Amino acid sequence: MYYVYILESLKDKSRYIGTTLDLKNRLTEHNNGETKSNKPKLPYKIAWYCAIPQKDIAYKFERYLKSSSGHAFTNKHLL
């Protein structure tokens, strides 16, 4: 199962969108500063996630959520 997730920074409320096979471990990696791009915004909490069985669909949905229409969808329907 692939997890598409949205993390929210507890520092500045910014969001990070990603895909992983192990959501719990990935959150730990983010909060341990192992992801350089969002290290300055630690700590993070999981704001939303969904499980998708197919890898290609999970990554397509992640790309959609990162688009401008995906941001609007997220704000209206997910968070």
- Output the tens digit of pLDDT for each of the chain's 79 residues: 999 999 999 999 999 999 999 999 999 999 999 988 888 999 999 999 999 999 999 999 999 999 999 999 999 999 9
* CATH code for residues 2-78: 3.40.1440.10
Q: Answer for the pair 60, 30: CB distance below 8 angstroms, yes or no.
A: no
Domain ranges for the chain, please list them: 2-78
Q: Could you tell me the two tokens for 33?
A: 């500063």
Start-end of H helices in 16-74 = 23-31, 55-66, 68-73
Return the pLDDT at 64.
Answer: 98
Q: What is the DSSP letter of 22?
A: -
Q: What's the pLDDT at 19?
A: 98
* Cβ neighbours for 5, distance < 8 A, ≥ 6 positions apart: 17, 18, 19, 20, 23, 26, 46, 48, 49
